Amino acid sequence: MESMRRIGLLGGMSWESTALYYRLLNEDVRERLGGFHSARLVMASVDFAEVEALQVAGDWAAAGALLADEARALETAGAECVVLCTNTMHKVADAIEAAVGIPLIHLADVTADAVKAAGLDRVALLGTRFTMEQPFYADRLRSHGVEVLVPEPADLALVHDVIYDELVLGVVRDESREAYVDVVRRLVDRGAGGVVLGCTEIELLIGPDDVDVPVFATTALHARAAVDFALARP
Protein backbone atom coordinates (compact mmCIF):
# COMPACT_ATOMS: atom_id res chain seq x y z
CA MET A 1 0.00 0.00 0.00
CA GLU A 2 2.07 2.88 -1.32
CA SER A 3 0.06 5.58 0.46
CA MET A 4 1.01 4.21 3.89
CA ARG A 5 3.52 6.57 5.46
CA ARG A 6 6.67 5.19 7.06
CA ILE A 7 6.79 5.55 10.88
CA GLY A 8 10.13 6.25 12.53
CA LEU A 9 10.52 4.62 15.93
CA LEU A 10 13.07 6.12 18.31
CA GLY A 11 13.36 3.39 20.91
CA GLY A 12 15.51 1.30 23.21
CA MET A 13 14.43 3.19 26.36
CA SER A 14 13.93 0.41 27.30
CA TRP A 15 13.77 -2.17 24.52
CA GLU A 16 11.01 -3.90 26.52
CA SER A 17 8.68 -1.00 25.83
CA THR A 18 9.85 -0.60 22.23
CA ALA A 19 8.95 -4.23 21.57
CA LEU A 20 5.44 -3.43 22.77
CA TYR A 21 5.25 -0.48 20.36
CA TYR A 22 6.36 -2.69 17.48
CA ARG A 23 3.70 -5.28 18.23
CA LEU A 24 0.89 -2.75 18.72
CA LEU A 25 1.68 -0.86 15.51
CA ASN A 26 1.68 -3.99 13.40
CA GLU A 27 -1.45 -5.40 15.03
CA ASP A 28 -3.32 -2.13 14.47
CA VAL A 29 -2.36 -1.93 10.79
CA ARG A 30 -3.35 -5.56 10.24
CA GLU A 31 -6.68 -4.98 11.99
CA ARG A 32 -7.47 -1.89 9.93
CA LEU A 33 -6.27 -3.09 6.53
CA GLY A 34 -6.65 -6.84 6.84
CA GLY A 35 -4.86 -9.50 4.86
CA PHE A 36 -1.10 -9.54 5.15
CA HIS A 37 -0.68 -5.85 5.86
CA SER A 38 1.85 -4.66 8.44
CA ALA A 39 3.29 -1.29 9.40
CA ARG A 40 6.01 0.43 7.36
CA LEU A 41 8.66 1.20 9.97
CA VAL A 42 12.25 2.23 10.48
CA MET A 43 13.76 2.06 13.95
CA ALA A 44 16.67 3.59 15.80
CA SER A 45 17.24 1.74 19.06
CA VAL A 46 19.69 3.34 21.47
CA ASP A 47 21.73 1.77 24.27
CA PHE A 48 19.59 2.55 27.30
CA ALA A 49 22.59 2.39 29.64
CA GLU A 50 23.95 5.56 28.00
CA VAL A 51 20.63 7.37 28.29
CA GLU A 52 20.01 6.24 31.87
CA ALA A 53 23.44 7.55 32.93
CA LEU A 54 22.58 10.96 31.45
CA GLN A 55 19.22 10.91 33.25
CA VAL A 56 20.87 10.25 36.61
CA ALA A 57 23.50 12.92 35.94
CA GLY A 58 20.78 15.41 35.00
CA ASP A 59 22.55 16.05 31.68
CA TRP A 60 19.41 16.52 29.65
CA ALA A 61 21.19 18.63 27.04
CA ALA A 62 23.47 15.72 26.15
CA ALA A 63 20.53 13.33 26.15
CA GLY A 64 18.63 15.66 23.84
CA ALA A 65 21.59 15.90 21.48
CA LEU A 66 21.95 12.12 21.41
CA LEU A 67 18.29 11.55 20.55
CA ALA A 68 18.27 14.42 18.06
CA ASP A 69 21.08 12.67 16.16
CA GLU A 70 19.08 9.45 16.15
CA ALA A 71 15.97 11.28 14.91
CA ARG A 72 17.97 12.77 12.01
CA ALA A 73 19.09 9.26 11.13
CA LEU A 74 15.47 8.13 11.05
CA GLU A 75 14.55 10.99 8.73
CA THR A 76 17.47 10.13 6.45
CA ALA A 77 16.27 6.51 6.40
CA GLY A 78 12.89 7.63 5.08
CA ALA A 79 10.79 8.09 8.22
CA GLU A 80 7.86 10.48 7.71
CA CYS A 81 7.20 11.01 11.43
CA VAL A 82 9.02 10.35 14.69
CA VAL A 83 7.51 8.30 17.50
CA LEU A 84 9.62 8.59 20.65
CA CYS A 85 8.97 5.26 22.39
CA THR A 86 9.33 6.55 25.95
CA ASN A 87 7.45 8.97 28.19
CA THR A 88 10.42 10.22 30.21
CA MET A 89 12.52 11.31 27.26
CA HIS A 90 9.74 13.58 26.02
CA LYS A 91 11.56 15.98 28.34
CA VAL A 92 13.85 16.58 25.34
CA ALA A 93 11.10 16.58 22.72
CA ASP A 94 11.90 20.16 21.72
CA ALA A 95 15.49 19.21 20.83
CA ILE A 96 14.25 16.33 18.71
CA GLU A 97 11.64 18.45 16.93
CA ALA A 98 14.23 21.12 16.16
CA ALA A 99 16.56 18.55 14.58
CA VAL A 100 14.18 17.18 11.93
CA GLY A 101 11.77 18.38 9.31
CA ILE A 102 9.18 15.68 9.99
CA PRO A 103 6.57 15.77 12.76
CA LEU A 104 7.12 14.33 16.21
CA ILE A 105 3.89 12.75 17.42
CA HIS A 106 3.97 13.97 21.03
CA LEU A 107 2.82 11.36 23.50
CA ALA A 108 1.41 13.81 26.06
CA ASP A 109 -0.78 15.51 23.44
CA VAL A 110 -2.21 12.16 22.38
CA THR A 111 -2.84 11.23 26.02
CA ALA A 112 -4.53 14.53 26.82
CA ASP A 113 -6.86 14.10 23.85
CA ALA A 114 -7.90 10.68 25.17
CA VAL A 115 -8.49 12.00 28.70
CA LYS A 116 -10.66 14.83 27.40
CA ALA A 117 -12.55 12.47 25.09
CA ALA A 118 -13.39 10.37 28.16
CA GLY A 119 -14.94 13.42 29.79
CA LEU A 120 -12.29 13.73 32.50
CA ASP A 121 -10.26 16.73 33.62
CA ARG A 122 -8.31 15.31 36.58
CA VAL A 123 -6.09 12.25 36.39
CA ALA A 124 -3.35 10.51 38.32
CA LEU A 125 0.04 10.29 36.64
CA LEU A 126 2.33 7.29 37.17
CA GLY A 127 5.77 7.19 35.63
CA THR A 128 9.44 7.53 36.39
CA ARG A 129 10.52 9.99 39.06
CA PHE A 130 11.54 12.34 36.24
CA THR A 131 8.09 12.24 34.65
CA MET A 132 6.20 12.61 37.94
CA GLU A 133 8.39 15.26 39.60
CA GLN A 134 9.47 17.44 36.70
CA PRO A 135 6.98 19.74 34.95
CA PHE A 136 7.60 18.85 31.29
CA TYR A 137 4.90 16.16 31.11
CA ALA A 138 2.29 17.39 33.59
CA ASP A 139 2.50 20.92 32.18
CA ARG A 140 1.85 19.59 28.68
CA LEU A 141 -1.27 17.82 29.99
CA ARG A 142 -2.33 20.95 31.88
CA SER A 143 -2.01 22.98 28.68
CA HIS A 144 -4.91 20.87 27.41
CA GLY A 145 -6.98 21.55 30.54
CA VAL A 146 -6.15 18.32 32.35
CA GLU A 147 -5.30 18.55 36.06
CA VAL A 148 -2.58 16.14 37.20
CA LEU A 149 -2.12 14.40 40.55
CA VAL A 150 1.11 12.54 41.39
CA PRO A 151 1.76 10.12 44.26
CA GLU A 152 2.97 11.18 47.67
CA PRO A 153 6.78 10.84 48.15
CA ALA A 154 6.87 7.24 49.45
CA ASP A 155 4.52 6.02 46.75
CA LEU A 156 6.39 8.02 44.12
CA ALA A 157 9.65 6.31 45.09
CA LEU A 158 7.98 2.88 44.93
CA VAL A 159 6.57 3.50 41.45
CA HIS A 160 9.96 4.69 40.16
CA ASP A 161 11.95 1.87 41.74
CA VAL A 162 9.70 -0.84 40.31
CA ILE A 163 10.21 0.59 36.82
CA TYR A 164 14.01 0.67 37.00
CA ASP A 165 14.66 -2.34 39.23
CA GLU A 166 12.12 -4.67 37.64
CA LEU A 167 10.13 -3.65 34.57
CA VAL A 168 12.96 -2.38 32.35
CA LEU A 169 14.69 -5.69 33.11
CA GLY A 170 11.61 -7.68 32.06
CA VAL A 171 10.68 -8.63 35.63
CA VAL A 172 6.92 -8.54 36.35
CA ARG A 173 5.95 -9.37 39.96
CA ASP A 174 2.47 -9.85 41.41
CA GLU A 175 3.59 -8.07 44.58
CA SER A 176 4.51 -4.99 42.57
CA ARG A 177 1.18 -5.09 40.74
CA GLU A 178 -0.65 -5.09 44.06
CA ALA A 179 1.50 -2.21 45.32
CA TYR A 180 0.73 -0.17 42.20
CA VAL A 181 -2.99 -0.82 42.60
CA ASP A 182 -2.76 0.49 46.16
CA VAL A 183 -1.00 3.63 44.91
CA VAL A 184 -3.74 4.21 42.35
CA ARG A 185 -6.41 3.70 45.01
CA ARG A 186 -4.85 6.42 47.15
CA LEU A 187 -4.73 8.81 44.18
CA VAL A 188 -8.39 8.12 43.40
CA ASP A 189 -9.20 8.93 47.03
CA ARG A 190 -7.52 12.30 46.42
CA GLY A 191 -9.82 12.99 43.48
CA ALA A 192 -8.29 11.39 40.39
CA GLY A 193 -10.94 10.31 37.90
CA GLY A 194 -8.56 8.13 35.92
CA VAL A 195 -4.92 7.09 35.77
CA VAL A 196 -2.34 7.83 33.09
CA LEU A 197 0.27 5.09 32.76
CA GLY A 198 2.98 7.60 31.96
CA CYS A 199 5.74 5.07 31.48
CA THR A 200 5.58 2.53 28.70
CA GLU A 201 6.87 -0.30 30.91
CA ILE A 202 4.04 0.15 33.42
CA GLU A 203 1.69 -1.33 30.84
CA LEU A 204 3.54 -4.61 31.33
CA LEU A 205 2.36 -4.56 34.97
CA ILE A 206 -1.15 -3.11 35.28
CA GLY A 207 -4.09 -2.44 33.01
CA PRO A 208 -7.81 -1.61 32.96
CA ASP A 209 -8.76 -4.85 34.73
CA ASP A 210 -6.65 -3.99 37.77
CA VAL A 211 -8.24 -0.71 38.89
CA ASP A 212 -11.74 0.76 39.12
CA VAL A 213 -11.16 3.98 37.13
CA PRO A 214 -10.38 4.56 33.44
CA VAL A 215 -6.79 3.68 32.53
CA PHE A 216 -4.95 5.61 29.84
CA ALA A 217 -2.27 3.32 28.46
CA THR A 218 0.02 5.79 26.77
CA THR A 219 1.84 3.27 24.61
CA ALA A 220 -1.39 2.00 23.07
CA LEU A 221 -2.68 5.55 22.57
CA HIS A 222 0.61 6.66 21.03
CA ALA A 223 0.77 3.67 18.70
CA ARG A 224 -2.82 4.26 17.55
CA ALA A 225 -2.04 7.90 16.78
CA ALA A 226 1.01 6.85 14.78
CA VAL A 227 -1.10 4.48 12.69
CA ASP A 228 -3.67 7.26 12.18
CA PHE A 229 -0.84 9.38 10.77
CA ALA A 230 0.55 6.57 8.65
CA LEU A 231 -2.79 5.79 7.04
CA ALA A 232 -3.90 9.38 6.52
CA ARG A 233 -3.73 10.60 2.95
CA PRO A 234 -0.60 12.73 2.47
- What are the catalytic residues? 86, 199
Q: What is the DSSP letter of 101?
A: S
Q: Provide the 3-class DSSP secondary structure of residue 196.
A: strand
Per DSSP, the chain holds a count of helices (H) and strands (E) of 10, 7
- Could you give the CA distance from residue 159 to residue 163 in angstroms, rounded to a whole number? 7
State which H helix or E strand residue 165 sits in. helix 153-165
Strands (E) located in the chain: 7-11, 41-45, 81-84, 122-126, 147-149, 195-197, 215-217
